[in-house]
Amino acid sequence: MRIPARFNGPPGSGNGGWCAGYFATAAGARVGGPPVRVTLRVPPPLDTGLLLDGGVVRAGDVLVAEIDDEADTGVPVPAVPLAEASAAARDYPGFADHPFPGCFVCGPDRAPGDGLRIFPGPLPGGRTAAPWTVPGDVAAETMWAALDCPGGWTAISDAGRPFVLGRITATVAALPVPGDECVVVGALSGVSGRKAVVDSSVYGPDGRHLAQARATWLALVQ
């Protein structure tokens, strides 16, 4: 196993959602299957040989991630119309101040066709929403990635400091068609100390609920 450098989050390490989906898929998770939980123990290294053995991912002697069965994917975040998501995205806080502007999922520095360019803007009630044009190479890992940052930005916006993904439990009911205009929404479930629990959902252009996740994000110590 190896995480290509394209799928970075913070500089030098993988995007948490994409990597979690990659690890889950390698461990047997499938589209339409039950939820899987991935816990990241260190920032996933890029372009480094990784070994999956018995639900554990290692880079040499370093424990990178653990994968197990977990049913709690949180509460589906209500869908909003595409026009409302597009309007929210225009106020995406990351346009003005982004801790990782090159992030594969939500980085404004990524070119169309390179990054996912999901820009979750604020909605009432501590929620976020963003439109998402599905890329041609969409896979389960892409869906996990799409679920990642829209939830995380609810924590970042609430606390006003950077967070990174620590744990995510996700399920993907179906893949959208390349070129589909989907809506991704996130909601803050709770905050305790450095930990924030968030929910996120992906909806297809017909309103179908395609994917769901609950994640724990960790505030960076500054």
Structural domain spans, the chain: 5-219
What are the tens digits of pLDDT across the range 203-220?
999 999 999 999 999 998
Give the pLDDT band of residue 156 (cuts 50, 70, 90). Answer: confident
Tell me the whole-structure pTM to 2 decimals.
0.96
Is residue 159 pLDDT above 70, yes or no?
A: no
- Say if residue 42's pLDDT is above 70: yes
Residue 18: the pLDDT is 99
- The superfamily in CATH containing domain 5-219 is Acyl-CoA thioesterase, double hotdog domain (2.40.160.210)
Degrees to nearest 5, angle at CA 176 with 172 and 181: 125
- The reported pLDDT for the residue numbered 158 is 63
Residues 19-40: pLDDT tens digits? 999 999 999 999 999 999 999 9
Mean pLDDT score across all residues of the chain? 96
